Structure 1
Amino acid sequence: QTFTTEVLSNEMKAILQQVADDNDIVIEKMEVMPDHIHMLISFPPSKAPASAIKALKGRSAYIFLQNHPEIRCSQYWGGHLWSPSYYMSKLGNMSKEVVEKYINDQKYTETNKKPHKGAQ
């Protein structure tokens, strides 16, 4: 888990916002979890979805790890901040408000989970 403090979480939010601004990506909603991020983004139809994700993940990792070289040594992905995988879905028949609520609820749900039986 990397984003374990509010300072680190807020730093990643600021980095992602800057990367988005630089790449014509609008972050509609974002929650930084300890080990992953939920985002609702929009971008011009001329931009391929994979290139939007590549820009966000690649540049944010570069900036964050420049600021925190000690974290690079402790990551699971061979010194990389993000795993190579991601999940992306179009809104489809869901409203933007439903997705925003889902993202909001993730922060509440994951921070209030009870430990599994036998967990230390």
Structure 2
Amino acid sequence: MPLKRTSHAVYDTKYHLVWCPKYRKKILRGEIRKRVKEIFYRISDEFGFEIERCEVAEDHVHILLTFPPRYSISKVVGILKSITASEIFKEFPRIRKYLWGGKLWEQGYFVRTVGDKITEDVIRKYIEKHSESMEQPRMW
């Protein structure tokens, strides 16, 4: 993947995110499943995120995405969860009876950074080499 740029940053980040509906209810089916996925992609376009892959199962979602470094991981998850919840409850009010408490999503989430060509070992060696020498090696 080519490096991405903003006015003040050059970045190559990729994250695997997973979270579940409240109480891990199997509510992400049929039309709801389809709409959740559509909303994720629309939000991504609006906020400058890039979804590489997105799968919505009955009781959890997986998203592989990249986003500009001005956003924290928790902010991105919050944006995706809050907007989808608001719109899904508006479009499918019947699911509220399965999710007492008025929340679509569980509070927590799983996140893992995903490497491309630069592995943890490469970064470790880069840092070690940097500390041995005052010379500034270039990574890009």
SS of the aligned residue for 2:86 comes to: helix
Spell out structure 1 runs of 4+ moving beyond 4 A.
none
SS at match of 1:88: strand
- State the match for 1:38 in structure 2: 62
Gaps spanning 5+ residues in structure 2: where?
Answer: 1-25, 119-140
Q: 1:91 aligned to 2:104?
A: no
Q: Which has the higher contact order (CA 8 A, sep 6+)?
A: 2
Q: Please report the RMSD computed on the Cα atoms of aligned residues, expressed in angstroms.
A: 1.8
Amino acid at match of 2:102: G
Question: Could you say which structure has the higher strand fraction?
Answer: 2
TM-score normalised over the length of structure 2: 0.61
CA distance in 1, matches of 2:114, 2:58: 25
Report Cα offsets for 1:22-43 as digits up to 9, x if no partner: 1111111000000110010100
Alpha-carbon distance, 1:94 to partner = 8.2
Asked if 1:69 is matched to 2:93, the reply is yes
Q: 1:32 to 1:80 in 2, by over 3 A?
A: same
Matched, 1:82 2:82: no
Q: Would you say how many aligned residue pairs link Structure 1 and Structure 2?
A: 93
In structure 2, the residue corresponding to 1:9 is in which secondary structure? Answer: helix
Q: Distance in 2 between matches of 1:81 and 1:94?
A: 36
Unmatched runs of 5 consecutive residues or more in structure 1 = 96-120
Partner Cα distance (2:83, 2:117) in 1: 30
Counting only pairs closer than 5 Å after superposition, residues 1-120 of structure 1 correspond to structure 2 as 1-5=26-30, 7-75=31-99, 78-92=101-115
CA 46–8 in structure 1, closer or farther in 2 if over 3 Å, else same: same
Q: Report the 3-state secondary structure (helix = DSSP H, G, I; strand = E; otherwise coil) of the residue aligned with 2:28.
A: coil
Which residue of structure 2 lines up, in the alignment, with residue 102 of structure 1?
A: none
Between the aligned residues of both structures, percent identity stands at 28
